[in-house]
Amino acid sequence: MKKGDIIVVPTDTVYGLAACLYDDQALEKIYEIKGREQSKQIAILCANIGQLEGIVRIDEASRALMEAFWPGSLTIVMKTTEQHKQKTGEDTIAVRMPKHRYLLNLIEVRGVLRVTSLNKSGEPPLHNIKDIHCQYGDLVSEIHTQDETVASQIASTIVDVTTGRVNMIRQGSITVDDINKVISGTSSKKQD
């Protein structure tokens, strides 16, 4: 991807608008296209935990959650590293590893991507590839289509680990009980 390029990618939930992590020009275009307020962050997608080095601080609880639910529909809000904060000004960022083979391969090659749902803010996301080409074909440099992955209509579960505790922000297919089982497993290991 060249500087300023944005692309359409399939995910395990909905189609997304994507930009390279530190491409401010491309990020600006995404905000314009979506009509989204700049104050609303755009999450990042990774293909493996190693890609997050230098971006977020991974503690014991977040690592346990990643190992239990990634790739999958868990988004984790984490504290950023000083290195990332200097580049973006962000203290925290939402991170997910999608359960989508094609997209994971794309992220392996292109690096960590900022991805947000493909829609105008406040409108439902687009699912039909013809509509996507019609509405976004002139605005993006590439449109990648869905593979054999069956996209879930349920949004990802979002948890915040920035306070040292795991706080549920939005429950999706992964429940509070699912999260608690993993977290209680890490605290019992500490006591052993």
Mean pLDDT taken over the chain: 91
Q: Are 80 and 90 in contact (CB under 8 A)?
A: yes
Kindly state whether residue 151 falls inside one of the protein's structural domains: yes
Q: What angle do CA 170, 175, 179 make, to 5 degrees?
A: 100
In the chain, pLDDT over 70 holds for what percent of residues?
95
CATH number, domain with residue 77: 3.90.870.10
Q: Provide the domain count of the chain.
A: 1
Could you tell me where the DSSP H helices lie in the chain?
24-34, 60-69, 82-88, 101-110, 129-136, 176-191
Kindly state whether residue 1 falls inside one of the protein's structural domains: no
Question: What are the two backbone dihedrals, phi and then psi, of residue 68, each rounded to the nearest 5 degrees?
Answer: -80, -35
pLDDT at 130: 92
Does pTM top 0.75 for this prediction?
yes
Structural domain boundaries enclosing 144: 7-191
Residue 73, CA atoms < 13 Å, CB-side half-sphere: 18
Kindly state whether residue 131 falls inside one of the protein's structural domains: yes
pLDDT at 88 over 50: yes
pLDDT band at 190 (very low <50, low <70, confident <90, very high): very low
Kindly state whether residue 2 falls inside one of the protein's structural domains: no
pLDDT band at 187 (very low <50, low <70, confident <90, very high): low
pLDDT band at 146 (very low <50, low <70, confident <90, very high): confident
Kindly state whether residue 31 falls inside one of the protein's structural domains: yes
pLDDT at 191 over 50: no
Average pLDDT of 116-143? 90
